[in-house]
Copies of this chain bind each other. A is one copy, B any other.
Amino acid sequence: MHRTMPKGRLEAFSDGVIAIIITIMVLELKVPHETTIEALKPILPVFLSYVLSFIYVGIYWNNHHHMMHVARGVTGGVLWANLHLLFWLSLVPFVTGWMGENHFEAVPSALYGVVLLMAGVAYVILQYAILHCPGGNPVLERALGRDVKGKLAMTLYAAAIGLSFVSTWISGALYVFVAMMWLVPDRRIVKAMAEAPAAAPEEH
């Protein structure tokens, strides 16, 4: 008989890694030597890319929070699927810095999309691993439905990667648009929870 383990440490470890990722990005904001307002101008694109990435990482934490809230336990497979997601998120500071310091040029903007796309793929794999834990997860299953939102986001990332070479304004606009789309937290899970009061998490 397979058994699941409590999810507490997976949550704590993910919280730690995501907290560090979201915070070390700010180290890319190098303190300027002058003390005028103009001295802040060259930092502006770095700052804007920081804001965008902060929101993206925030979205991942938020959705992760909602999804793990309805998970009933974890298996070895879930642990690795989660580490895989954290791996791609850990590359966000690098691509954010590269894009920001180069004023949103083509290749860095495309690579930013690649990392977002891979993080999206990793999130889907994690969802899949949780859905296939022993006992299944009907609440999450109902909440996801056909996961239109997830599929749309990944299609738009893929489009943005290609369109980076046409105009980084378009790809940038797409990244902002997908972020806005996700800013509304996964109400599907909240809704599915409300409809299925009996499917409360097994433990802590």
Contacts and interface: CB of A to CB of B under 8 A. Distances in A.
Contacts of A106: 35
Nearest to A111: B40
Interface stretch (A5-13, A120-128, A172-180): A5-13
B35 A102 contact: yes
Contacts of A19: 13, 16-17, 19-20
A61 B13 contact: yes
Interface of A: 1-3, 5-6, 8-13, 15-24, 26-29, 31-33, 35-37, 39-40, 51, 54, 58, 61-62, 65-66, 68-69, 76, 79-80, 83, 86-87, 90-91, 93-94, 97-98, 101-102, 105-108, 111, 183-187, 190, 193-194, 204
